[in-house]
Amino acid sequence: MSRDAPPQRTLLGGRSARAFLADYWQKRPLVVRGAWPRFADPVSVSDLFRLAARADCESRLVIRDGARWRLEHGPLRPGRARRLPARRWTLLVQGLNHFVPDADRLLRAFRFVPYARLDDVMVSYAAPGGGVGPHFDSYDVFLLQGRGRRRWRIAQRGDPELDARAPLKVLRRFRPEEEWVLEPGDMLYLPPGIAHEGSALEPCLTYSIGFRAPSSRELAVAFLAFLEDRLDPGGERYADPDLRPARRPAALDDALVERSAALLAAVRWTRGDIEAFLGAYLSEPKPHVRFFAPARPLGRRAFERAAARGGTRLAAASGMLFRRGAVYLNGEQIAAAGPTRRVLERLANERALRPGTSVTPAAAALLYTWYRAGWIALVDDGGGYG
């Protein structure tokens, strides 16, 4: 892949990010021909099968067998590729940007959407006729075509009923309204809820840049778990000093219900709690993600000299956000102020600190701790600035 992303206007078909967000984002599909000129795939098919064999990489293999669908979850066994048919199968690898620096650079080309919403790059390799069937996503997605050609068909209206027999979410009935054939470097943007089906016309690679869109249920469950750690462990306990003899011992009496309702009503949270929760929740890596600490870490002073000479960068899997005086890295909250806060915000925005960046002693101590944990790396250890 070209190490340099195309100009934003080229990526968005001659539009500014502001115009795209106003006219298309979560509103209507957009096809951009030549969105990424001279695009070259950052991975090979053999690379993808090696990743799919790893336990720390999410992968799926989808096979169409006549009218039936088969689904295999990774890690796949070595040699699985040799036992696949010639047609109608797809390998999906999630989080490609965690493993391939050029895929991370691809993801960062979409930084006109806040990092709190940006999720990851999923790549699909499909044999001729391969695909995952007609379906719809609950999130925005950019579909960038790599090698080969893929036909996309969409329907903005239709029956949402799923095929109960399929092991993946495939629509039972799909009546396409529009279709396009994407060639290398072309891109299709789809807002949430648009039914779509992609089918490989020849062996092809497609890169899906996806976005986080948690449901109200997901947010509520995660927020309540967050609050659990903040509740006073010695808080008020249920008590009934005026209890009377029970005539119906199995009944939930009114007094018990009222006292319990009062205990629950005493649980309070503030806007600050919500901000802290979102910073931690939206920067938290997915459960399968692993970080790799340096095998032979430098000492503190040697690290600082190397960082000043060559710069540092966030690990591809690291999530870093900030709000007001708080910085969030991989689910942890760090209080920072003044020059320390400013340098950490620069790291969060640019995902790197360039050579010669002036850092405070407090920032230097944090950077070294994160380096030892594998959350950041020295640029000289591989990769660039993105």
pLDDT tens for residues 255-271? 999 999 999 888 889 99
Is residue 371 over pLDDT 60? yes
pLDDT category of residue 381 using cuts at 50, 70 and 90: low
Average pLDDT, integer, range 8-28: 97
| pLDDT of 383 | 45
| pLDDT of 385 | 41
Average pLDDT, integer, range 199-226: 96
Instruction: Give 42 or 233, the one with higher predicted confidence.
Output: 42
| pLDDT of 159 | 82
| pLDDT of 143 | 98
pLDDT, tens digit, for every residue of 285-298?
999 899 999 999 99
Average pLDDT, integer, range 330-359: 96
Is residue 156 over pLDDT 50? yes
Q: Are 199 and 176 in contact (CB under 8 A)?
A: no
Average pLDDT, integer, range 354-369: 96
Is residue 234 over pLDDT 90? no
Q: Are 210 and 143 in contact (CB under 8 A)?
A: no
Average pLDDT, integer, range 306-316: 96
pLDDT category of residue 384 using cuts at 50, 70 and 90: very low
Q: Are 5 and 109 in contact (CB under 8 A)?
A: yes
pTM of the model: 0.91
| pLDDT of 285 | 94
Count of beta carbons in the 10 Å neighbourhood of residue 174: 19
The average confidence (pLDDT) of the chain is 94
Is residue 190 over pLDDT 90? yes
Is residue 343 over pLDDT 60? yes
